[in-house]
Amino acid sequence: MKDTLLAICQNTTTHDKAKNISSAISMIEQAAQKKAQLVMLPEIFFYPYELQNLAAIAEEYGDTPALLSQKAKELGIFLCAGSLPIKEKGKLYNRACLFGPDGTLLLQHDKCHLFDVDLPDLKTSESAVFTPGATAQVVDTEIGTIGMLICYDIRFPELARKLALCGAEIILVPAAFNTITGPAHWHTLFRTRAIENQCYVAAASPARNNNAGYRAYGHSMVIDPWGEIIAEADIGEEIIYAELSEKKLLDTRSRLPLLKHRRPEIY
CB 53 within 8 A of CB 93: no
CB of 132 to a second copy, least distance (A): 7
CA distance 112 to 26: 30
For residues 71-100, which are near a second copy according to CB under 8 A? Answer: none
CA distance 96 to 149: 8
Pick the catalytic residue from 9, 97, 112, 151: 151
CA distance 218 to 208: 6
Among 16, 74, 88, 116, binds a second copy (CB under 8 A): 116
Between 17 and 187, CB nearer to a second copy: 187
User: Is residue 2 annotated as part of the catalytic site, yes or no?
Assistant: no
CB 85 within 8 A of CB 92: yes
User: Is residue 151 annotated as part of the catalytic site, yes or no?
Assistant: yes
Per-position x/- string for 25-44, each x denoting binding to a second copy as judged by CB under 8 A, each - no binding: --------------------
For residues 228-247, which are near a second copy according to CB under 8 A? Answer: 228
18 binds a second copy (CB under 8 A): no
The one-letter amino acid at 247: K
195 binds a second copy (CB under 8 A): yes
User: Is residue 162 annotated as part of the catalytic site, yes or no?
Assistant: no
Among 103, 226, 232, 250, binds a second copy (CB under 8 A): 226
Of the candidate spans 5-13, 85-93, 114-122, 214-222, the one that interacts with a second copy by CB under 8 A turns out to be 114-122
Around Cβ 5, how many Cβ atoms within 10 Å? 17
Among 19, 35, 91, 262, binds a second copy (CB under 8 A): 262
Both ends of the chain: CA-CA distance in Å? 29
Between 210 and 267, CB nearer to a second copy: 267
Check residue 207 and report its DSSP letter: P
CB of 221 to a second copy, least distance (A): 13
CA distance 148 to 98: 9
Among 74, 104, 184, 213, binds a second copy (CB under 8 A): 184
The one-letter amino acid at 50: E
125 binds a second copy (CB under 8 A): no
CA distance 83 to 194: 21
CA distance 11 to 77: 18
Between 64 and 108, CB nearer to a second copy: 108
Cα separation values, 34 from 5, 21, 75, 128, Å: 9, 20, 11, 41
CB of 220 to a second copy, least distance (A): 18
155 binds a second copy (CB under 8 A): yes
Find how far residue 99's CA is from the centre of its chain.
13
CB 92 within 8 A of CB 131: yes
114 binds a second copy (CB under 8 A): yes
Pairing of strands 91-99, 105-110: antiparallel
Residues that bind a second copy (CB under 8 A): 112-114, 116-120, 132, 134-136, 152, 155-159, 161-162, 184-185, 187-189, 191-192, 195-196, 226-228, 254-258, 261-267
Residues with catalytic function: 43, 111, 151
